[in-house]
Amino acid sequence: MNFFANATAVIDEGCIIGEGTKIWHFSHIMSGCVIGENCNIGQNVVVSPKVVLGNNVRVQNNVSIYEGVICEDDVFLGPSMVFTNVVNPRSAVSRKNEYKTTLVKRGASIGANATIVCGNEIGEFAFIGAGAVVTKPVLPYALVMGNPAHQKGWVSELGHKLEFDIAGNAVCPESGQQYVLQNNEVRRK
C-alpha cells in the first residue's frame, strides 16, 4: 500500500489510489474510481464509482463526489461543496443511465458549500466562490459567485483577483505572472 488510509476509512476493492495520497476519517472510496498521486481526501468524503481525480487534488471534509465527475490535477474542492449527477432526480425513478459528466479542469478551486449542477465544465484555474450555485459552464480563470453563479471577474493561477488595464494586461500580485484579456478570454503571457 503506497498511500495512507485512516483506520476508519472504507476502501472498496477495485479502486486505484495513487502513491502519497492520504484518506482521512470515515471516508468511503468506492470500487471503480481512480484517485491520483499526492491527493488529500478529508474526513467523511465519498468517492463514487467511475469518478476520476487527478494528481494533487484536495478534497475537504464532507464532500460527496458522484459518478460522472472528473477532476484534473491540482483541483481544490472546499468543505461541504456538492456535485450533482442527474438533472431531474426522483426517488421513484432510476436515472442511472442519465448521469451527466462534470469536468473540473486543472487548477480550479470550488469554495465551501458551493453546488455544481451536473453537465458543466469548470475551466482551468477558475475560482468558484463559497456558496455559489453553478448552473452553466465556467470559463478558465473566471471568478464566479452567487446563486445562480455569475462571473465577477478573473483570477490568476494563484487565486488572486486580476485587475486588467485598458490594454487588457494584468499582473498577479503574488507571482508576478502576466495575463492578457482578449475576446473575453484570459491567458498567461
- Confidence at residue 64, expressed as pLDDT on a 0 to 100 scale: 97
In a domain, residue 135? The reply is: yes
Structural domain includes residue 94: no
Domain of 151, CATH number, reads 2.160.10.10
Work out the average pLDDT over 84-100: 95
d(CA 58, CA 169) in angstroms, rounded, equals: 31
Q: Is 183 exposed, middle or buried (0-12, 13-18, 19+ CB in 10 A)?
A: exposed
Mean pLDDT of 27-55: 98
109 assigned to some structural domain: yes
Domain encompassing residue 120: 4-87+99-160
**pLDDT score of 175:** 98
* pLDDT of 142: 98
pLDDT at residue 1 greater than cutoff 90: no
| Portion of the chain with pLDDT greater than 70, in percent | 100
Percent of the chain with pLDDT over 90: 99
Alpha carbon distance 174, 86 (integer Å): 39
Q: How far apart are CA 161 and CA 114, in angstroms?
A: 19
* Grid cell at residue 67: 459518478
Sign for the CA dihedral angle at 173, 175, 176, 177 comes to: negative
Residue 187 lies in a domain: no
Looking at residue 177, its pLDDT comes to 98
Taking only the tens place, the pLDDT of each residue in 119-134 is: 999 999 999 999 999 9
Q: How many CB atoms lie within 10 A of CB 64?
A: 19
92 pLDDT band, cuts 50/70/90, is very high
> How many residues does the structure list for the chain?
189
Is 20 inside a domain boundary? yes
Cα dihedral sign for 81, 84, 90, 94? negative
* 165 pLDDT more than 80: yes
So what's the pLDDT on residue 58?
A: 98
Report, as an integer, the average pLDDT of 4-10: 98
Mean pLDDT for all residues in the chain: 97
Cα torsion through 46, 50, 52, 57, rounded to 10: 10
In a domain, 188, yes or no: no
How does residue 162 score in pLDDT terms, banded at 50, 70 and 90? very high
Does residue 172 belong to any structural domain of this protein? no
For residues 5-28, average pLDDT: 98
- Structural domain includes residue 185: no
Number of compact structural domains in the chain: 1
Residue 161: pLDDT over 80: yes
